[in-house]
Amino acid sequence: MSAHKVTVEWKSASEDFSYESYNRDHVLVFEGGVRVPASAVPAYGGNPAHVNPEEAFVAALSSCHMLTFLAMAAKKRFVVDCYIDHAVGFLEKNQDKKLAITRAILRPQVMFGGPTLPTREQIHALHERAHSECFIANSVTTEVTVEAE
């Protein structure tokens, strides 16, 4: 249906190329021109001031859920004023004993306005459907839990 392109740019910043010395910093360049400084997690020699792949993965899950939720709320004519998610992903050993983001917890807090406020049941149903329809959640084997408030 569509293709999504990202360019990853890296260049050596040291004379010696060894595991201990090579730089982990790189840039993610998106189709619209946005450039995001990225690196490895600090535990693997990365720059803590840059986005790492694990964070980007959790951010993609959270962002996709939010965008799907907002679309579904709008179609139901609920007005969303604010949406905040404090998501967390867990890097653990998977069934094959390999490191993976095995699970993620999304903790969205949604504030509604407008003339018609949804019930708790309607909000819960919107989150369930958003999770079910999220392109990213449907693309991974990571267990994703939504703990909406």
In sequence order, what are the beta bridge partners of 28?
A: 8, 36
Q: 72 is written with which tokens?
A: 């579904």
pLDDT digits (tens, 9 = 90+) for 93-131: 999 999 999 999 999 999 999 999 999 999 999 999 999
| Whether pTM exceeds 0.85 | yes
At 147, give phi and psi (nearest 5°).
Answer: -115, 75
Task: Compute the distance between CA of residue 70 and CA of residue 81 in angstroms, rounded to an integer.
Answer: 10
> What contacts 15, CB < 8 A, 6 or more positions away?
none
Taking a C-beta distance cutoff of 8 angstroms, is the pair 35, 29 a contact? yes
Task: Compute the distance between CA of residue 126 and CA of residue 65 in angstroms, rounded to an integer.
Answer: 10
At 46, give phi and psi (nearest 5°).
Answer: -90, 170
In sequence order, what are the beta bridge partners of 143?
A: 103
Average pLDDT, the chain: 96
pLDDT-based confidence at residue 149 (cuts at 50, 70, 90)? confident
Tell me which residue of 7, 67, 57, 51 sits closest to 33, measured CA to CA.
Answer: 7
> What contacts 124, CB < 8 A, 6 or more positions away?
148
Cα 24–101–66 angle (5° rounding)?
100
Tell me which residue of 52, 149, 130 sits closest to 91, measured CA to CA.
Answer: 52
Percentage above 90 pLDDT, the chain: 93
Task: Compute the distance between CA of residue 22 and CA of residue 7 in angstroms, rounded to an integer.
Answer: 20
pLDDT digits (tens, 9 = 90+) for 121-143: 999 999 999 999 999 999 999 99
